[in-house]
Amino acid sequence: MIASVDHASGFFGSTLRRLDAWLRGTPKPLAKEHLSRTISLARIVLIVGLVFLHYQTYPNSDASPFDGLDPANHPVATFINSFVLFFFFSAVPLLSMLSGWLFFSTMGGRDVLLAKIRHRVRTLYVPLVGWNLIFLAALALLYLSVPDHPLFAEINLRFQDASPWDFVNAVFALTHHPVGYQFWFVRDLFVTVLVSPLLALLLQRLPYVGLFVLGAAWLVGHDLWIFFRTDVAFFFYLGGLIAMRRIGLRIAPGPTIVLMLLYLFLVGLRAWAPAFVDMVDQRPEWLTGATRAMRLVGVAACWGTFLWLAQTRPGERMARFGGLAFFLFAMHFPMLAAIKWMLWPWVPAHTDAWMLIHYIGSVAITIALGLTAGQLMSRYLPRGFALMNGGRVLERSAAPRAPATDDAGKDRGLEMAPPAGGEAAKPMQQV
């Protein structure tokens, strides 16, 4: 049995090394400043993508973008919405992988690991509770004044028949998604950190067995009894494996182009799937599994693109907003849902063109308000901003600094990110 495990580990190890050699091209290491800027750029771009993803269904359509386009009604608008959604399905995996890479890049003894876990209580769980308390209070006031507001169809809490335990979960996300649904990711990331001693043991003793078990659970959609979704744990572990095996994060331009073209093709094909796959009763399981698997291509394609873009002037400018990524992520929902319903009565006609204008406008206003609020709060209420931003301080320098670490290995870089979806009167779907 041990021999079989060693053989499997050797096979996975050699395959990973060959893949790494093709992706990196030249073995030239990444400059520290380039890597830091790329991480900041990835954070803000992927969070902006998640805002687009969380727009969900058009108000005049019953077709879920998680299924794909609606061939019969508004195919152009529904295809674009679905295409963007599936493209940014790579956001949570990539952000999780970077979080795992940062977490395991500075390994130490038990005391260091416990210090990292305590640090994540402040940077992950405290903001989760704080933001959801704010959301719950605001929604409760809205419910008391306008109980039939369409916004309540977008959230996963039914005030009219919610139990005390539902309200506990709405804030603390213990066994159910919180009212700020995007925080399902922060909750799962925090749980992943809590079990990091076990993950560290697997990475040291049976690295590829752990990768296979978590990967299989993710592909088949098993939550392992403690997660909402296992993609966070799997990609966090993958990032840890890359860190502990000292595998370079460089992806050469050639493989990046190939991967991005392949990913765009897969995303387009998936968004077009309802035109040739029967989804009347339910989405086929094989299609759900294939949708999950294509994220592997998306992670590599997007990371390679960010590496290139971070070296350009536009990339440098966008990376300066990296410190606001968590704040935008935290604030954008249910604000986006409210803006979406506020703007809809102003749409003059329910055509594809006007639907897309509403889609882009709702997201653009949400992003603008979130970034503006974050900048104003960081300037005039810096302590409150730091608390709500998970301890992340907004950089004022021309170029973002590399993620700093202290003696306890408390990386202050990327340890977050996020989607919306849920179990509500109008449930947000998952793949």
* Residues 294 and 263: beta-carbon distance below 8 Å: yes
Per-residue b/e over 237-251, b at no fewer than 16 CB within 10 Å? bbbbbbbbeebebbb
Check residue 12 and give its pLDDT.
63
Burial class of residue 124, CB neighbours in 10 A (0-12, 13-18, 19+)? buried
Share of the chain above pLDDT 90, in %: 74
Residues 375-424 have pLDDT tens digits of: 999 999 998 999 899 887 776 544 444 444 333 334 444 444 333 333 33
Instruction: Tell me 428's DSSP state.
Output: B
**Residue 281 structure tokens:** 């009763």
The stretch 175-202 carries a mean pLDDT of 96
Residues 17-42 have pLDDT tens digits of: 676 666 666 656 778 899 999 999 99
Residues 203-215 have pLDDT tens digits of: 999 999 999 999 9
**Residue 103 structure tokens:** 């977490």
Measured from the Cβ of residue 57, the count of other Cβ atoms closer than 10 Å reads 19
Measured from the Cβ of residue 370, the count of other Cβ atoms closer than 10 Å reads 23
In order of 29, 175, 216, the CA distances from 227 in angstroms are 35, 9, 15
Examine the pLDDT at 88 and tell me if it is beyond 50.
Answer: yes
CA-derived radius of gyration, the chain: 21
Examine the pLDDT at 2 and tell me if it is beyond 60.
Answer: no
In one-letter notation, the amino acid at residue 152 is F
Residues 255-276 have pLDDT tens digits of: 999 999 999 999 999 999 999 9
Higher-pLDDT residue of 341 and 423 is: 341
Check residue 111 and give its pLDDT.
84
Instruction: Evaluate the CA torsion angle 190, 191, 197, 201 in order and state its sign.
Output: negative
pLDDT band, residue 10 (cuts 50/70/90) = low
Q: What is the DSSP string of 14-80?
A: HHHHHHHHHHH-S-PPPPHHHHHHHHHHHHHHHHHHHHHHTT-S-TT----TTT---SSS-HHHHHH
- CA–CA separation, 114 vs 286, rounded Å? 40
Check residue 7 and give its pLDDT.
54
* Torsional class of 158: left (φ above 0), alpha (ψ -120 to 50), beta (otherwise): beta
- The C-alpha angle 325, 328, 331, rounded to 5 degrees, equals 150
* Residues 332 and 372: beta-carbon distance below 8 Å: no
Examine the pLDDT at 144 and tell me if it is beyond 50.
Answer: yes
Examine the pLDDT at 57 and tell me if it is beyond 90.
Answer: yes
Cis peptide before 400 (omega within 30 of 0): no
Best CA proximity match to 248, nearest among 101, 419, 91, 40: 101
Instruction: Tell me 84's DSSP state.
Output: H
Share of the chain above pLDDT 70, in %: 85
Check residue 30 and give its pLDDT.
76
Residues 232-263 have pLDDT tens digits of: 999 999 999 999 988 888 898 999 999 999 99
* Residues 304 and 20: beta-carbon distance below 8 Å: no
- CA–CA separation, 233 vs 193, rounded Å? 9
* Residues 385 and 94: beta-carbon distance below 8 Å: no
Per-residue b/e over 300-337, b at no fewer than 16 CB within 10 Å? bbbbbbbbebbeeeebbebbbbbbbbbbbbbbbbbbbb
Higher-pLDDT residue of 385 and 5 is: 385
Check residue 20 and give its pLDDT.
66
The stretch 308-324 carries a mean pLDDT of 95
For the entire predicted model, the pTM comes to: 0.88
Examine the pLDDT at 4 and tell me if it is beyond 90.
Answer: no
